[in-house]
Each structure stands twice: as structure tokens, then as C-alpha cells.
């Protein structure tokens, strides 16, 4: 230990210098005119090419500049966050925007467009899309609905998907179900004969017979999935006429009552909302859980964990159903949740929008869609050989989209979902009864959203 102050200062300076050397700085060649485009994306194993396609588009654009003899180069500044879900990422994105760090391009969940526009974050893309019809006119028209806010388009769809209840048929067979029963299941769901409660009974049977450790699992955090099961119980969360969010008290009570039923009969773990994503995926992919409520992009990882090859193998082991009806005679529901590219209201927005257009072309989009099992955005993609060969899952999922809806692009939908989720937490952990949870959620919605939500009985 140095005895003098000079000694101590010198020591510290050495340590600080060493630390800085460790941190290091990399130098990159700088061209005469560098345009930096900030790209914000979430680190998501089911979509690394969302950001990757923009980076590839930037490379392509740089080749165009070089060929044209220009000194301009596009440099992509990648901001990849580790948020646990798209809702979490949207909140971080809004925080960044609120302090002036608006990215030029962002990968986001479409329902947050309302909140983004109200916060002044997004560039209106109507003009750009009309001016560049050659890049955009093959996009499936219904998908444009997901990027509209007050009638104008603020983003470009990047992909879409189908969500479903996965069933591990091997577990059900071990629990005593015959193949005939399993094949009839899907039809029963679509006819409204097999209800949500029947699903939990089925899962409970699997647990009781010892074939499964857990009946079924759902996402452990806030997210779009719950809209489709709420719709099964009659909750229509958007009132188009008045452009306001909406909730039905009786529907909410039935929904929470159903969740409680599932926890009580042993099919749904009571602490589901405290699980990590890791353990949720592992439960189904490890063969511990009979069912999983999630989306089609899981297919790749499921095939890997179960060692399946090809469509026949897969559908022999795993079955898909829509969200069953809430009560007999009702209709099954589904949800399609497009992820979109949005362009920030920044000085570079024109260049950024063009990069987005380039990344939305069939070849890059198919690379993403087929690789991670998302549905394509352009009609032309369905004719590509790669898609026909490897996209069997997507083809199989397309019929389920008949009963699919989108989430509303209302500015407060994120808050709405977060509040509803607290009710799910309360009911599953046994903290509150279904009625109390519904009361609490409705009170919170009134308090936080005020006029933006209509409360129906």
C-alpha cells in the first residue's frame, strides 16, 4: 500500500489507464459522406434477420452508390436490446424517443404504432409507399390494416404469423387417447363443440395419468396472445365506430374464471406468470407439458428438440388447434400479429424508408419467413421454390387465419394489455377471485385510461 498520496494517485491512474486500454476502441474507415442510420431491434431468436435484412439492404445500397461513383455510404448503427418481449421493447423505444434518441428504423410490434404516432415518433409513409409502388404493390392487402393509424400508413409489415394451442399428441396417446379422437379434435374446435374448459380438462387428464408433468403453458409476460382467448369469451377489445378501446365486464369475469378453473384442476401452473421464457419453452420442447399456447415460429425449435424431420413426422407428434370457443356453440378465435418496420421522424427518414422497402422484397423476406416460420408478406413469395419446399408449416397454418383478427392500433393498447395481465397474475396465483380481479382490472383501466376505454357490462 503506497504511503504517500502521490503514490496512491499514481496507482489509480495506472489502473484507470489499463481499464481504458481494455475497453478499447475500434477504428473503421470513414468515407467522405457517411450517413448513419440507427436501427433499433430486439434480440429475438425467432427473428434475427429482421435487423439482418436491413443491414443487407444497406450493403446493397452501398454497392449502388459505389457503382454510381458517389462517395456517400450508408452506415448502420445497430441498437439491439435484450428486452423480454415486444411490449417491453416498445416501452424502451418510447423512452429513447422521449429523450431525443429516436432511431431511424425500428422493428416493432404493430399495435404500438398508435402510441408511437401520438408520441411524435413516426414518419408518415403514405407518400413514400405511393411513390415506390414497385416495391410495395405485391404486399398482401389485409396486412396494410395492421400498420394504419387513423387511416394512414406508418409502417411496412415485416411478417405475420399464426398463433395456436400446440398439443403433444404422444403425451395424449400415453394418456389413453386414440388416434381417431385426436383427429376429430380439430374439427370439434372449429365447430364450437370443444370449448376452453374442455381443453383444460384434457390437459388435466394428461397430468393425472402421469403422461405429462404440466398440463399446458402460456406466455409468462404481457403480450398479444391473450387477445385471442379473451375474444373466445366474447371480449371485443376495440370499438371501431368510436375508435376507442373496449372491455366487457362479464366477458372478463368469464375469462378469469376460466383461468382459475385451469389452475384449480391442475392443468395450468399457478405460478405461470413468474416463469422465465426459457422454462416455458423448455417445458413443451422437453416433453414435460402437454400443451403450449404460442405461435407458429416455434416449429423450427420444436423439430430440433424432438428430432422430427418433415411435415408428416411433425404433425404425427404435434397437433394445432385454434383458441377454442369459450362456451359450446361459440366460435374459435385466432390472432395474427404482424411485426412491422417503422421509420422514425428523423432527418434520414427518406433514406431509411428506402432501406425498409429493399428489405421487404421477396428474397430477403422469404429468408426470414422460411427460416423462422413466419408467414410471408408478398403474394409472390408463396411461389418461390424455397417457400414451397420448406414452408410446409406456413401452408398448413394458413387455413387457421380465417378466424384471425388483428390487435387494434390504439395508442393505449399497450397499457390496456398490461393492466389485463395484472388480472391474470392475480387470478392464477390465487390472490383474487375472478370477480375481484375483474373489478380491479376495470378500476385500473378507468383510472389509467380514462376516456380512452369503454366499459361494457
Partner 1 sequence: MNHAFVKPQRTHGISDTVLFLGPAILLLSVFFLAPIVVNIFVAFSDMARTVRFEDFPTTQQFNKLGKLDPEALLGFELRGSFYRALALTGTFVFFTLFIFNVTFALILALTTTAVPERMGAVFRAIWLLPRMSPSIVYALLWLWVIDSTERGLFNQVIMAFGLEPMNLQLDHPMTVIVVANGLIGASLGMIIFTSAIRSIPEHLFHAARADGAGSLSIIRHVILPALRWPISYITIYQSLALLVSFEYIFLIMGPSRSTMTMAMLSYTKTLAPGIGGGLYAYGAAIALILIVIGIVVALVMWRLTNMKNLLQRPRIEVR
Partner 2 sequence: MVDVPTQTFRTTETGPDWDRLAATSRRDRRLKISALTVFLVAVSIPIVLPYFWMVMIAFTARTGGADADTLWTACAILVPVTLAYVVGYQALSARYRTLGLIAAILIAGALLWFFLGDDLHLNNFRFMINPNIVEDIRGAATAGGQFPWVWTAFGNSLILAGTQTVIVVTVSTLAAYYLSRFSFRGRSAFLQSLLVLQAFPAITLVIPIFLIVFWVGLLNTLYAPILVLTALELPFFIFIMKGFFDAVPWDIEMSAMTDGASRRQAFWMVVLPQVRIGMIAIGVFSFIKGWEEYIFVTALRTGNSYWVMSTYLYYVREDVMGVDYGMVAAVSLLYVMPSLVLYLFCQKYLTQMTIGGVKG
Residue with cell 413468474: 274
Which of positions 6-35 make contact with partner 2 (CB under 8 A)?
Answer: 12, 15-16, 19-20, 22-24
Contacting residue, 44, 89, 111, 205, with partner 1 by CB under 8 A: 89
Contacting residue, 35, 57, 96, 359, with partner 2 by CB under 8 A: 96
Contacting residue, 31, 62, 75, 92, with partner 1 by CB under 8 A: 92
> Which residues, in sequence order, are CB contacts of 115 under 8 Å at separation 6+?
90, 94, 411, 412, 413, 414
Whose Cβ is closer to partner 2: residue 80's or residue 446's?
80
Shortest distance in whole angstroms from residue 416 CB to partner 2: 23
Which of positions 261-300 make contact with partner 1 (CB under 8 A)?
Answer: 270-271, 273-274
Residue with cell 445500397: 61
Cα gap 336→394, rounded to integer Å? 13
Binding of partner 2 at residue 55 (CB under 8 A)?
Answer: yes
Encode 43-69: b = buried (16+ Cβ within 10 Å), e = exposed: ebebbebbbbbbbbbbeebbeebeeee
Cα gap 53→368, rounded to integer Å? 8
Q: Which does 180 bind (CB under 5 to 8 A by kind): partner 2, partner 1, none?
A: none
Total residues contacting partner 2 by CB under 8 A comes to 35
* Binding mask of the shown chain, residues 402 to 421, with x at each position contacting partner 1 by CB under 8 A: ------------xx--x---
Cα gap 44→3, rounded to integer Å? 53
Q: Which does 270 bind (CB under 5 to 8 A by kind): partner 2, partner 1, none?
A: partner 1
- Do 420 and 438 contact (CB within 8 A), yes or no? no
Residue 375 gets which letter from DSSP? B
Select from 334, 315, 308 the least CA-distant residue to 400. 334
Shortest distance in whole angstroms from residue 44 CB to partner 2: 6
Whose Cβ is closer to partner 1: residue 200's or residue 222's?
222
H helices within 126-224, ranges in order? 126-131, 133-136, 141-144, 169-174, 179-190, 196-208
Binding of partner 1 at residue 422 (CB under 8 A)?
Answer: yes
- Do 330 and 255 contact (CB within 8 A), yes or no? no
Contacting range for partner 1; rule: CB under 8 A; set: 71-79, 373-381, 388-396, 424-432: 424-432
Shortest distance in whole angstroms from residue 117 CB to partner 2: 19
Continuous segment of H or E residues that includes residue 249:
helix 249-264
Whose Cβ is closer to partner 1: residue 34's or residue 271's?
271
- Do 158 and 377 contact (CB within 8 A), yes or no? yes
Whose Cβ is closer to partner 2: residue 179's or residue 276's?
276
Contacting residue, 37, 40, 112, 424, with partner 2 by CB under 8 A: 40
Whose Cβ is closer to partner 1: residue 25's or residue 447's?
447
Which H, E and C letters describe 378-439, residue by residue? EHHHHHCHHHHHHCHHHHHHHHHHHHEECCCCCCCHHHHHHHHHHHHHHHHCCCCCHHHHHH
Whose Cβ is closer to partner 1: residue 55's or residue 115's?
115
Q: Which residues here bind partner 2, judged by CB under 8 A?
A: 5, 12, 15-16, 19-20, 22-24, 40-41, 43-45, 48-49, 51-52, 54-55, 78-82, 84, 92, 95-96, 99, 101, 276, 278-279, 282
Q: Which residues here bind partner 1, judged by CB under 8 A?
A: 83-85, 88-89, 91-92, 94-95, 97-99, 115, 119-120, 270-271, 273-274, 414-415, 418, 422, 425-426, 429, 431, 440, 443-444, 447-448
Amino acid at each position: 500500500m503506497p504511503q504517500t498520496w502521490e503514490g496512491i494517485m499514481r496507482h489509480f491512474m495506472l489502473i484507470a489507464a489499463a481499464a481504458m486500454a481494455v475497453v478499447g476502441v475500434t477504428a473503421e474507415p470513414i468515407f467522405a459522406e457517411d450517413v448513419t442510420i440507427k436501427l433499433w431491434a430486439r434480440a429475438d431468436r425467432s427473428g434475427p434477420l429482421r435487423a439482418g435484412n436491413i443491414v443487407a439492404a444497406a450493403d446493397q445500397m452501398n454497392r449502388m452508390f459505389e457503382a454510381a461513383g458517389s462517395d456517400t455510404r450508408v452506415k448502420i448503427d445497430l441498437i439491439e436490446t435484450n428486452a423480454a418481449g415486444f411490449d417491453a421493447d416498445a416501452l424502451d423505444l418510447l423512452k429513447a424517443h422521449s429523450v431525443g434518441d429516436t432511431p431511424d428504423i425500428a422493428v416493432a410490434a404493430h399495435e404500438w404504432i398508435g402510441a408511437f404516432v401520438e408520441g411524435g415518433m413516426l414518419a408518415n409513409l403514405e407518400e413514400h409507399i405511393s411513390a415506390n409502388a414497385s416495391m410495395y404493390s405485391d404486399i398482401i392487402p389485409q396486412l396494410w390494416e395492421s400498420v394504419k393509424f387513423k387511416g394512414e400508413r406508418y409502417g411496412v409489415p415485416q411478417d405475420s404469423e399464426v398463433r395456436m394451442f400446440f398439443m403433444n399428441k404422444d403425451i395424449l396417446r400415453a394418456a389413453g387417447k386414440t388416434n381417431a379422437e385426436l383427429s376429430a379434435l380439430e374439427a370439434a374446435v372449429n365447430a364450437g363443440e370443444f370449448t376452453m374448459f374442455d381443453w383444460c380438462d384434457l390437459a388435466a387428464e394428461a397430468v393425472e395419468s402421469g403422461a405429462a408433468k404440466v398440463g399446458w403453458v402460456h406466455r409468462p409476460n404481457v403480450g398479444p396472445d391473450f387477445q385471442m382467448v379473451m375474444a373466445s369469451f366474447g371480449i371485443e377489445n376495440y370499438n371501431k365506430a368510436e375508435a376507442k378501446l373496449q372491455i366487457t365486464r362479464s366477458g372478463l369475469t368469464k375469462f378469469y374464471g376460466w383461468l382459475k378453473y385451469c389452475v384449480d384442476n391442475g392443468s395450468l401452473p399457478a405460478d405461470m406468470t413468474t416463469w422465465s421464457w426459457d422454462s416455458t419453452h423448455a417445458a413443451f420442447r422437453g416433453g414435460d407439458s402437454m400443451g403450449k399456447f404460442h405461435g407458429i415460429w416455434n416449429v423450427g425449435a420444436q423439430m430440433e428438440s424432438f428430432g422430427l424431420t418433415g411435415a408428416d413426422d411433425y404433425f404425427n407428434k404435434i397437433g394445432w388447434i385454434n383458441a377454442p370457443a369459450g362456451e359450446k356453440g361459440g366460435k374459435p378465435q385466432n390472432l395474427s400479429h404482424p411485426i412491422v418496420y417503422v421509420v422514425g421522424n428523423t432527418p434520414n427518414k427518406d433514406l431509411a424508408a428506402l432501406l425498409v422497402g429493399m428489405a421487404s422484397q421477396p428474397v430477403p423476406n422469404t429468408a426470414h419467413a422460411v427460416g423462422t416460420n413466419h408467414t410471408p408478406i408478398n403474394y409472390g413469395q408463396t411461389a418461390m421454390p424455397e417457400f414451397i419446399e420448406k414452408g410446409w408449416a406456413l401452408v398448413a397454418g394458413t387455413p387457421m387465419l380465417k378466424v384471425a383478427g388483428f390487435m387494434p392500433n390504439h395508442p393505449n393498447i399497450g397499457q390496456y394489455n398490461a393492466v389485463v395481465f395484472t388480472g391474470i397474475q392475480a387470478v392464477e396465483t390465487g390472490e383474487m377471485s375472478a370477480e375481484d380481479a375483474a373489478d380491479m382490472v376495470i378500476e385500473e383501466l378507468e383510472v389509467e385510461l380514462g376516456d380512452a376505454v369503454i366499459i361494457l357490462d
